[in-house]
Amino acid sequence: MLAAEVSASPPPLKQTPLHALHVSRGGKMVPFAGYDMPVQFGPGVLKEHLHTRASAGLFDVSHMGQIVLRPKSGRVEDAARALEWLVPQDILALPAGRQRYALFTNESGGILDDLMVANLSDHLFLVVNAACKAEDEAHLKEHLSDVCIVEPMRQRALIALQGPKAESVLKKFDAEIPAMKFMDTAARRLAGLDCFVSRSGYTGEDGFEISVPAEAAEAFAKELLADENVLPIGLGARDSLRLEAGLCLYGHDLDPTTTPVEGALEWSIQKSRRKGGARPGGFPGATAILDQFEHGAPRRRVGLKAEGRAPVREGASLFADATSQSPIGSVTSGGFGPSLNAPVAMGYLPPSHSAHDTTVFAEVRGQRLPLRVAPMPFVLNTYKR
């Protein structure tokens, strides 16, 4: 009944600076985006998920790409203006000390990657997905090298501390931490280390993401884990937490064929970059994307709640009714939401079926299971705004 184990010699997997710590803490290691990563620890996905929502969880996200864009002119606005060639977000208006969600788009308006962009006064700091980081680096170098030095920060680890007790834990290292608001970012010294701290995350909870020097990452993580409120959390719970929070997983919910409007990410594109704004367009795929702002898109990412207990997973086809032959969409992420104690999913549907409370049917093991289009996030977020 269990998936057959692969007996062939696995491809060489990369390790994050916290790899030895994960193994010593009983992490169950699996390949993920080319890295050997913990999918869960002893307590298991369900308890790790609930612990993060109730207390604080430590996540190793060092596999993600950290990239500095350093303007050759020394003026951060030059780097910001240049980055706007590649993303539909307003980067020029991003104040120092703030972070923003952004998208690399392609010429047809599809999404190449989703990322975070922080303004750290004299440079921009980007965090991109692990599976895309090589392509993202090449993309940035190809288009921005005249204006910026593109510096991949390969010698840094990235640790996320998420949950309602994250602030009180981190405060012990830096008394200024509570003054930070959601999406604030700052260079701080924590435990004597030069860190970049942002108040953000991928769980729907209040929390922080901390970039630390690789060589000191394990000692720093151990200091965080020494707090009885903090448990290490694996990728399994990271996925169920972000799904309940309605957050996209790149490569699943978003890909080069989905546009920001299809992905229900219009909120991420500020008015200045839309038609009638101060700097409309000027990013790859602008014509297609701005046209969809006006006329709508052929499909839309929606939240889906099951009426029964059976989880509906990625890849399940969606149908308008219990008997129709042609699917109208598909599930891109789905599983069981431990905090909701119910199945949750997201997927794409045509405008005719994407309004809240519309009933559609997912095909699971030959049966049609009713699902209701539901608002996201499924679990209210607790960001400190």
Partner 1 sequence: MTTTLYTSDHEWLRIEGDVATIGVTDYAQSQLGDVVFVELPKVGRALKKTEAAAVVESVKAASDVYAPISGEVLEINSELAAEPALVNSDAAGKAWFFKLRIADRSELGGLMDEAAYQKHIA
Under a CB-based contact definition with an 8 Å cutoff, are residues 98 and 89 in contact?
Answer: no
Pairing mode of beta strands 65-71, 124-128: antiparallel
Contact segment (CB under 8 A) with partner 1 among 41-49, 145-153, 177-185, 348-356 equals: 41-49
* Smaller CB separation from partner 1, 46 or 225: 46
Distance separating alpha carbons of residues 60 and 380, to the nearest angstrom: 24
Contact call for residue 46 and partner 1 (CB under 8 A): yes
Choose among 127, 128, 118, 126: nearest CA to 186: 118
Minimum CB separation of residue 47 from partner 1 in Å reads 8
Choose among 221, 227, 239: nearest CA to 18: 221
* Smaller CB separation from partner 1, 202 or 220: 202
138: Cβ contacts below 8 Å, ≥ 6 apart: none
Under a CB-based contact definition with an 8 Å cutoff, are residues 211 and 151 in contact?
Answer: no
Under a CB-based contact definition with an 8 Å cutoff, are residues 40 and 48 in contact?
Answer: yes
User: Which of 295, 365, 380, 385: binder of partner 1 (CB under 8 A)?
Assistant: 365
User: Which of 70, 98, 252, 313: binder of partner 1 (CB under 8 A)?
Assistant: 313
Q: Residue 366 has what DSSP assignment?
A: T
Helix 133-144 vs helix 76-83: crossing angle, to nearest 10: 110
User: Which of 19, 22, 49, 199: binder of partner 1 (CB under 8 A)?
Assistant: 49
Contact segment (CB under 8 A) with partner 1 among 40-48, 86-94, 137-145, 154-162 equals: 40-48
How many residues of this chain bind partner 1 (CB under 8 A)? 22
Contact call for residue 27 and partner 1 (CB under 8 A): no
Q: Read off φ and ψ for residue 290, nearest 5 degrees.
A: -70, -30
Contact segment (CB under 8 A) with partner 1 among 86-94, 102-110, 152-160, 235-243 equals: 235-243
User: Which of 27, 57, 110, 335: binder of partner 1 (CB under 8 A)?
Assistant: 335
Minimum CB separation of residue 51 from partner 1 in Å reads 13
Choose among 199, 104, 114: nearest CA to 142: 104
Contact call for residue 2 and partner 1 (CB under 8 A): yes
- Angle at the Cα of 109 from the Cα atoms of 104 and 112, rounded to 5 degrees: 30
Minimum CB separation of residue 195 from partner 1 in Å reads 32
Distance separating alpha carbons of residues 205 and 219, to the nearest angstrom: 25
Under a CB-based contact definition with an 8 Å cutoff, are residues 93 and 278 in contact?
Answer: no
The amino acid at residue 354 is: S
Distance separating alpha carbons of residues 137 and 88, to the nearest angstrom: 18
* Smaller CB separation from partner 1, 27 or 236: 236
Contact call for residue 45 and partner 1 (CB under 8 A): yes
Contact segment (CB under 8 A) with partner 1 among 82-90, 130-138, 331-339, 354-362 equals: 331-339
* Smaller CB separation from partner 1, 48 or 136: 48
Coil vs helix vs strand at 34: coil
Binding mask 147-176 for partner 1 (x = CB under 8 A): ------------------------------
Coil vs helix vs strand at 2: coil
Minimum CB separation of residue 32 from partner 1 in Å reads 13
Contact call for residue 252 and partner 1 (CB under 8 A): no
Minimum CB separation of residue 236 from partner 1 in Å reads 5
Binding mask 269-308 for partner 1 (x = CB under 8 A): ----------------------------------------
Alpha-helical segments (H) within the chain: 19-24, 44-54, 76-83, 133-144, 166-171, 214-225, 235-244, 286-295
Contact call for residue 242 and partner 1 (CB under 8 A): no
Q: Residue 271 has what DSSP assignment?
A: G
Minimum CB separation of residue 247 from partner 1 in Å reads 17
Contact call for residue 204 and partner 1 (CB under 8 A): no
Distance separating alpha carbons of residues 48 and 39, to the nearest angstrom: 11
Contact call for residue 338 and partner 1 (CB under 8 A): yes
Contact call for residue 232 and partner 1 (CB under 8 A): no
Q: Which spans of this chain sit near partner 1 (rule: CB under 8 A)?
A: 1-3, 39-40, 44-47, 49, 236-237, 240, 309-311, 313, 335-336, 338, 343, 365
